[in-house]
Amino acid sequence: MRRGLRFVPLALLLTGIVEVAVFVLLGRWIGFGWAILLVLAASLAGMVLLRREGLRAWRGFRAAVEAGRPPGSQVSDGLVGLLAGLLLVIPGLVTGLAGVLLTVPLVRRAVRGQVQGVAERRVSGQVAGDLFGPRRVRVRRGEPRPDAGPPPAEPGPPPPAAAGGAIEGEIVEPRRP
């Protein structure tokens, strides 16, 4: 079992306990009828959001593919939108609040960046480049490694960058043992 997945049952149990406690506290404060109505309204809003975000993600993905652009940002944005809808559909006030927070543009942008980062780490560099487009890399000059090959023929200033300020090259991932 993967390292992070072993905590899923515990997280689900704790989420259930917190949801029941929040529901009871809110029910005592505003009345149980209103609390039930609030949970049902959040679930209904989640169903509407799931449908809307699913369609929007699919349209964005298709438009990016047809235009020849990398579809990764549309895919990660769609995943965050679908997660927001799913959290709203799950009956509960805490998960509903988390779903509503994921609809806020600032929070959504931050979570989308995290989703994209996780996806980039889990796939090869070529697949990540195909999904998310060219990535920025830092190049630093330093002492050559012994296994790096022969040094350049003439030491001097680096060649000038192309007119666009980019230097062509490729990233080669080392082989893993």
pLDDT at 136: 62
142 in any annotated domain: no
Domain that holds residue 78: 42-132
Q: Which helix (H) or strand (E) holds 118?
A: helix 105-122
Question: What is the pLDDT confidence band of residue 82, given thresholds at 50, 70 and 90?
Answer: confident
- The rounded distance, in Å, linking the Cα atoms of 39 and 93 is 6
pLDDT at 56: 83
106 in any annotated domain: yes
pLDDT at 111: 87
| pTM (predicted TM-score) | 0.62
57 in any annotated domain: yes
Q: What is the mean pLDDT of the chain?
A: 76
pLDDT at 158: 58
* Predicted confidence (pLDDT) per residue in 13-48, tens digit: 888 888 888 888 888 888 888 888 888 888 888 888
Domain count, the chain: 1
Cα separations in angstroms, 91 against 10, 13, 16, 39, 85: 19, 14, 10, 6, 12
C-alpha closest to that of 172 among 146, 148, 142:
148
Name which residue leads in pLDDT, 120 or 10: 10
Tell me the HSE value of 2 on the side-chain side, using a 13 A CA sphere.
3
